[in-house]
A = this chain, B = another copy of it.
Amino acid sequence: MGTYVLIHGAWHTGTELEPVAATIEASGHRVFTPTIKGNRRGDAKTTGLAEAIQSIVECLIDNGLDDVVLVGHSYGGMIITGVADRARDRIRRLVYWNAFVPNNGESLLDMVPPAFARMFEAIAAERGDGSVVLPFPIWREAFINDADLDTAQRTYRVLNPHPLKTLTDKIALTVNPAELSVAKSYINCTEDTSLPHHYPWHPRLSQKLGLFRLVQVSGSHELCFSNPTRLAQAILDAGRD
């Protein structure tokens, strides 16, 4: 019926979204789960935001995709916003899933608590290759709080170091998301504390979309691991016309 393209978040690849894709496919849709440039095996960790966005624009072109429901998770919100700005006529609807919503000239780190930005920059400085990693206690308590310890450990081992430059580069947009004439949805996992609830995803960032459809579902930032079937249902509810 439709075409879904799922764009992962920082430290992830498209592979981790395959169980989610399988449920969406079972409803009769085509689903793509590309990996953003910078997170693919062997990518330079000096990749910047514009290159990252361009890699997904090319994925749409190379696969001849249009009428796409384009879903972005977390950092993936930066990507889908940039893709929609550059390839608007290929998009049927944007779906932000606990995702950043940038206006022109904003970076991802402009939208997180200042202490987070400083922590990421300190970690990257120590690593020295341009990449940042997430300390396990933060992953376990604030990102995947709804899973057991085994799941938290197993999924942590799958993460890849993320290029800091994609988080610090300011995005270049011709229009801000609120003015973008594309249908939009926001999925909010109600126990997502990867951003603290006094500095939340929704409605702080979602309201930057202008008119949008809200879908809420119980779960953490990493519902793709803790309950991929439930997440897929939320994506279907968010992605339909």
Q: Name A's B-contacting residues (CB within 8 A).
A: 137-138, 140-142, 145-146, 148-149, 183, 190-191, 193, 196-198, 202-204, 206-207, 211-216, 218, 237, 240-241
Bound form: Cα–Cα A89–B57 in Å: 54
CB pair A211–B146 under 8 Å, yes or no, is no
Interface SS of A by simple majority: loop
Cβ of A183 to closest chain B Cβ, rounded Å = 8
| Distance, CA A239 to CA B141, complexed state (A) | 11
Q: Is the CB of B193 within 8 A of A214?
A: yes
Interface centre among A145, A148, A196, A204 (most CB of B within 10 A): A145
Contact of A218 among B198, B203, B216 (CB under 8 A): B216
Asked whether, in the complex, the Cβ of A214 is within 8 Å of the Cβ of B240, the reply is no
Out of B137, B149, B204, B216, which one reaches A190, CB within 8 Å? B216
> Does the CB pair A203–B197 fall under 8 Å?
yes
Please report the C-alpha to C-alpha distance between residue A204 and residue B193 in the assembled complex, in whole angstroms. 14
* Nearest B residue (CB) for A206: B197
